[in-house]
Amino acid sequence: MKPELEFSRRSFVRAAGAVPMAAAQPASSPAPSGLPQQAGGASRLSVSSDGVIEVETPTLVAKLEKGLLRSLRSKASSEEYITSFDAKQLDALQLVYSRGETVDVGEQKFGKVETRKISDLRAEVIFQNWDGDGIMTVSVDPGPGDLLLEPSAFSSRPGVRACRWRLKGLRRDLKLVAPFYQGVSLNLDDPLIRSSHWDWPHRWEAGLAILQGPAGGFSIHTQDNRYRYKALHVGSDADPYMLGLDTEAYGPIDANLSAGGLVWRINVHQGGWRVPAERYRKWLWSAFSLDAEERRREPWLQALGMAISWCPGDAAILNALAEKADPRKVLIHFSNWRTDEYDENYPTYNASESAAAFLARAHELGFHVMPHFNIMEVDPNHPVYSQLRDFQFRDIETKKLYGWSWVNRRAIGVPESNASRLDHRREKVMVKIHPGLSKWRSILCSRIQEAARRHTLKDVFVDVALNTFNLHNCLVENTTSTEGVNRLIHEIAGLGLSVGAEGLNETFFQGLSFAQVHLFRSPHSTLEGLERTGGCPLNHLLFGRLCRSFGYSGLGGRNAEEELRARIHEEHGALPTITIRSAAEIANPTAAVKRALDAASR
């Protein structure tokens, strides 16, 4: 699709890896009473007469009052990560309704919170007030030493979208390391993330958040292998030092009364953010049998040196590239290759004569070239639309159609008039079809297979793969759109193809070899503060053994802004990527282009 994000269109197991580390530690307050703070030892959980839960595991000591985490201490370092805060006007649990409306479930409104111990390592916090009820299970996984929290909430009022557990009092010097836009490490009060909401997996690209201090920190993750929707809420206008962890209900939510079912795991670590990130990566590999996927990757994948996004179909570019780089180390995204105009008449994929010649020459020289397909969007004027229109994406709250149009260089959504939807091809109107539908997967795979046979393709690119959401029509054939995209990518790979896609997250990376990734809220224009979003290749650590990422747009190095964009991509572990208009930009390269060429040189 057009180089835009979908917001404006495209707008997990063992020890927590504690490693002793000699470093100055921040001043810490006394450990929770009654619990020793030596490292190791048995796990214990106690509930006092006033309902305070105290937990000890081999790695941590923690205290919860009325569902709120009031203390979290590392046994190895004695570091305390939670500061004192006033809980009088704060409930740990909330119900979330449409448009971000939240309702406290606790003591705030004729409420009560009770705690009971269930077994040696398990307790319940029971919430009840005027507006709703809730349960949060608190338990321990002795093996890794995790503190486990499973919140749920319900009400007689329909429309519940999520249950949110709130974590307040985060230490001021902790940075949030999170899989947003391939990885960020930012102060909690940074304007880029303060009072922000990150839906999984579209923007929160893995169910992991790390709070990192100078010598250690703690992490929160969920070991969810069922693709259940969730979100991370970062701070508020009044208080940036808090997080909200949302467990969403599947759409439709109009009559829904409850949410819950995810277990959040909390543990401490010594050292940097890579310690909990590597633990999560190991969980991913185990949960989804990714060792087998790794063995299926082409041997040249890790030898790639550079990529070109939105490459023009000019053979002169190939010839110029071959003079300065090893074609076997160059990945080419080839977007405008069909007889149809770009982003029109999907899913028809017929190459123009010039594009067929370009593909033949690229293969002759040894380049890895990916023609551009679309994984879920269909032109309403296409003959297949009538078979698929009942399975268009609809927003979970507004019920509006998801899709794409391009008017005056901006996306304006999809016509809700059935007649108008058929009358605006020139505005490039397309609708998103739910990939849980087996008929759609069959249609798209057959079209891709035909093109691959015709042009001896070994690599393909599928657009808008990142755009999966919790939908009003969330389940089709008992499959979410997120599961559907993952399944579809595996089916395309099953045709004997290496698959590239737009976006990179923990769901569909499993079948990918390449991913075209975005900069932090900067699809084309560059967000003020983008320079603070580099230096944290979190997603590269999580996914890079299977999938190589490359950049998106504005990567010609023509000015300081484009240099910055290229640098941030490379700091995230992406292949050096260029966007060029002609062979002249290869013959007379900017510093950024030369850097990419050098990375792929013989």
411/86: higher pLDDT: 86
Q: Which CATH superfamily is domain 86-287 in?
A: Golgi alpha-mannosidase II; domain 4 (2.70.98.30)
Confidence at residue 444, expressed as pLDDT on a 0 to 100 scale = 98
3-state secondary structure 98-161: HHHCEEEECCCCCCEEEEEEEECCEEEEEEECCCCEEEEEEEEECCCCEEEEEEEEECCCCCCC
What are the two backbone dihedrals, phi and then psi, of residue 89, each rounded to the nearest 5 degrees? -110, 30
The set of residues, in sequence order, having a beta carbon less than 8 Å from that of 590 and lying 6+ positions away, is: 556, 557, 558
Overall pTM > 0.85:
yes
CATH 3.40.50.300 fits 303-375+444-599, yes or no: no
SS3 label, residue 198 = strand
- Average pLDDT, stretch 552-580? 98
pLDDT digits (tens, 9 = 90+) for 188-243: 999 999 999 999 999 999 999 999 999 999 999 999 999 999 999 999 999 999 99
SS3 label, residue 204 = strand
pLDDT digits (tens, 9 = 90+) for 238-267: 999 999 999 999 999 999 999 999 999 999
Span of 25-29, 327-331, 422-426, 509-513 with lowest mean pLDDT? 25-29
Confidence at residue 25, expressed as pLDDT on a 0 to 100 scale = 34
Per-residue burial over 239-252, b if 16 or more Cβ lie within 10 Å, else e, is bbbbbbbbbbbebb
The share of the chain scoring above pLDDT 90, in percent, equals: 90
pLDDT digits (tens, 9 = 90+) for 90-126: 999 999 999 999 999 999 899 999 999 999 999 999 9
Confidence at residue 454, expressed as pLDDT on a 0 to 100 scale = 98
Structure tokens at 195: 């009072």
Give the integer Cα–Cα distance in Å for 429 and 346: 10
- Average pLDDT, stretch 399-420? 91
Give the integer Cα–Cα distance in Å for 182 and 191: 18
Q: How confident is the model at residue 408 (pLDDT cuts 50, 70, 90)?
A: confident
Is residue 129 pLDDT above 50, yes or no? yes
Confidence at residue 524, expressed as pLDDT on a 0 to 100 scale = 87
Confidence at residue 39, expressed as pLDDT on a 0 to 100 scale = 65
DSSP string computed for 20-72:
---------PPPPTT----SS---EEEE-TT--EEEE-SSEEEEEETTEEEEE
- Average pLDDT, stretch 438-464? 98
pLDDT digits (tens, 9 = 90+) for 314-372: 999 999 999 999 999 999 999 999 999 999 999 999 999 999 999 999 999 999 999 99
- Average pLDDT, stretch 481-508? 98
Same topology, domains 86-287 and 303-375+444-599? Answer is: no
Domain map of the chain by residue range? 86-287, 303-375+444-599
- Between the two ends of the chain, the Cα-to-Cα distance in Å is 33
Confidence at residue 19, expressed as pLDDT on a 0 to 100 scale = 33
Confidence at residue 3, expressed as pLDDT on a 0 to 100 scale = 41
Q: How confident is the model at residue 45 (pLDDT cuts 50, 70, 90)?
A: very high
The share of the chain scoring above pLDDT 70, in percent, equals: 93
Strand partners, 34: none
Confidence at residue 5, expressed as pLDDT on a 0 to 100 scale = 39
Residue pointed to by tokens 């409104």:
109
Is residue 464 pLDDT above 80, yes or no? yes
Q: How confident is the model at residue 23 (pLDDT cuts 50, 70, 90)?
A: very low
Is residue 27 pLDDT above 60, yes or no? no
Mean pLDDT, the chain, as a whole number? 93
SS3 label, residue 326 = coil
Q: Are strands 330-334 and 306-308 parallel, antiparallel or unpaired?
A: parallel
Segment (H or E) for 598: helix 591-599
